[in-house]
Structure 1
Amino acid sequence: MIDLEEIRIVLVAPSHPGNIGAAARAMKTMGLSRLYLVSPESYPHAEATARASGADDVLARALVCQDLDEALRGVTLVLGTSARARSLEWPTIPPRQAAERINAESGGEAAIVFGRERSGLTNSELERCHYRVHIPANPEYSSLNLAAAVQLLCYELALAAEAGPVDDPTPAISEEDPREAYAEQIEVERFYVHLEAALAEIEFLDRENPRQLMRRLKRLFNRTRLLRTEVNLLRGILTAAQRQAKLARGG
């Protein structure tokens, strides 16, 4: 069942403090309270407090993070909002399905990530997300204010919480064994770093001309929802491959 206290709203590099306050207000009206700010341009700020209109407690609890990895520490499910299509598209779902996806997942914390007001999320930031959340809008005028987007997603989350629990179509193998829980996003990111290094060492990846290999591999693994034991297993395989590559080179 969805627990609104386990959902983080993450704003990446917000440039307008008023949007931070308005987002806090949007969250509180729907029962959410965990706000994370990644490198905000101006915060704390009087305009944020004014636009919060009584959601001062949400602002007081807000955590300011240096980067997205810090904001996602401890999270097992990440959804990134983006209106912009990519050359290599990410698994995309609408807001209601995003809320249902969070509602279906048992255990672990979830985060919904919102990008910059002008440019949204970078490809690298979106690659940290299991799903891209796209808000359908008028194709001739699809611009949506940051706080309005937060309000819409929080509304869908509140509806899902009220609807009650649903079955998880991709449950972890054993909820009682923490080793069989979904891997935290920071563990997955460390695996990706290890994977890229190992592929370069065995000369499968050309770092001078990587094309979209790592993006495709990240999309594949994000889609499978790796468990903690699976991450450890894969990294063990990579370590063994690196060892053999070193021996083959006479190292």
Structure 2
Amino acid sequence: MVETTHPGNIGATARVMANMGLTQLCLVSPRSFPDPAATARATGADDILEQAKVFDSLEEAVSDCGCVIGATARRRSLAWPLLDAEQAAARLVVEQQVTNCALIFGPEACGLSNAHLDLCHAHLRIDVNEAFPSLNVATAVAVMAYEFRKQSGLGALESAVQSAEEETPMTMGEFDQLMTHMEIVLSKTAFLSGPKTKLLRKIRRLLLQGVKSTQEVNILRGVLTSLEYALGVSDKQPQKRAQRGVQNTAKNSAKNNSTTPT
């Protein structure tokens, strides 16, 4: 939950999470937490409130996540993969087998900003009455928690899980480092000579849909390092990032992963 203004909504969210068997609640810059109103609305789900993690930024909160889905009630000018509640839950069921996942809900008054949504692999839009589309944030969490619980019982998309296990899923922290590296390199060329914010958002969207693993991040960063060397803007010899990433991955054991409302 990002920048939640009413502590009662945090408590109500904790309650529905407990109802549906979810335990990991993350809060980004809440206006007031801990708060008696949150405890009152939790109605016994105190353990979820006590274990909730608080972050200063969404970037920090999702840095170790390989699948991030952000809820939005509005249609955005820049097209992004858009899922309904059932599709989002099915994707989370699959992805949580191999990586940490986060489902993001924004402030009550305005929802997630474009900057927040740019951190997501896909956007979620719950199907509601178009004449009155704004859901209370705790209600939206309840809808998705129920869908996730229902989908989890189906063992959906086992073949996709098996495929995903072959490589280490990319985290958002690794992806942000890739984007920073790419912006630095492109700024040395004529490609980013004009206004760049919208173009970089489009590049980010493109890469988020194609780059899935740490190994793929290492390949692209190796390409960028080679370009820096060829352009003469770096004396650093290119290294075999991709090969090193595969070797490191072979040493890693499977981790326990979870889906976290944030």
In the superposition, the TM-score normalised over structure 1's length comes to: 0.88
RMSD of Structure 2 on Structure 1 (CA): 1.7
Separation in 2 of the partners of 1:14 and 1:89?
26
One-letter amino acid matched to 2:150: L
Distance 1:92 1:138, change over 3 A: same
1:174–1:158 distance in 2 versus 1, CA, 3 Å? closer
**Equivalent pair of 2:121/2:209 in contact (CA under 8 Å):** yes
Q: Which residue of the partner structure matches residue 115 of structure 1?
A: 106
In the alignment, what sits opposite 1:6?
A: none
Tell me, yes or no, if the aligned pair for 1:79 and 1:131 is still in contact at 8 Å: yes
How far off is 1:243 after superposition? 2.4
Cα distance in 1 for residues equivalent to 2:164 and 2:45: 39
Higher RCO (C-alpha 8 Å, min separation 6): 2
**What is aligned with 2:240?**
none
Moved more, 195-204 or 56-65: 195-204
2:231 aligned with 1:240, yes or no?
no
| Residue 139 of structure 2: aligned partner | 148
Distance 1:147 1:174, change over 3 A: closer
Q: Unmatched 5+ residue regions in structure 1?
A: 1-10
Equivalent AA in structure 2 for residue 54 of structure 1: G
Aligned-partner Cα distance in 2 for 1:193–1:146: 32
Deviation of 1:247 (Å):
5.4
The CA deviation string for residues 122-172 of structure 1, in whole angstroms up to 9 with x for no partner, is 111111111100011111111110000000000000001112242344865
Q: Distance in 2 between matches of 1:73 and 1:247?
A: 29
- How does the TM-score come out when normalised to structure 2? 0.84
More moved, 152-161 vs 225-234: 225-234
| Equivalent position to 2:20, from 30, 55, 68 | 30
1:123 corresponds to which letter in structure 2? N
**Which residue of the partner structure matches residue 196 of structure 2?**
210
In structure 2, relative to structure 1, the CA distance for the partners of 1:172 and 1:194 (3 Å cut) is farther
Using the TM superposition, give the Cα deviation of residue 104 of structure 1 relative to its aligned residue in structure 2, in angstroms.
2.4
Q: How many residues align?
A: 233
> What's 2:123 paired with?
132
Secondary structure at 2:158's aligned position in 1? coil
Distance 1:86 1:196 in 2: 24
**1:227 aligned onto 2:213:** yes
Gaps of 5+ in 2: 235-262
Shifted more, 50-59 versus 196-205: the winner is 196-205
Task: Give the aligned partner of residue 188 of structure 1.
Answer: 175
How far apart, CA to CA, are the structure 2 residues paired with 1:94 and 1:53? 29
Native 8 Å contact 1:104 1:168 kept in 2: no
Aligned residue for 1:3?
Answer: none
DSSP 3-state at the match of 2:98: coil
Percent of aligned pairs sharing the same letter: 39
Contact 1:23 1:150 in 2 (8 A): yes
Name the residue aligned to 1:90.
80
Secondary structure at 2:123's aligned position in 1?
strand
Question: Given that residues 98 and 161 in structure 2 are in contact (C-alpha distance below 8 angstroms), is that contact kept between their aligned partners in structure 1?
Answer: no
- What is the distance in 2 between the residues matched to 1:107 and 1:174? 6
Compared CA separation, residues 116 and 247, structure 1 to 2 (3 A): closer
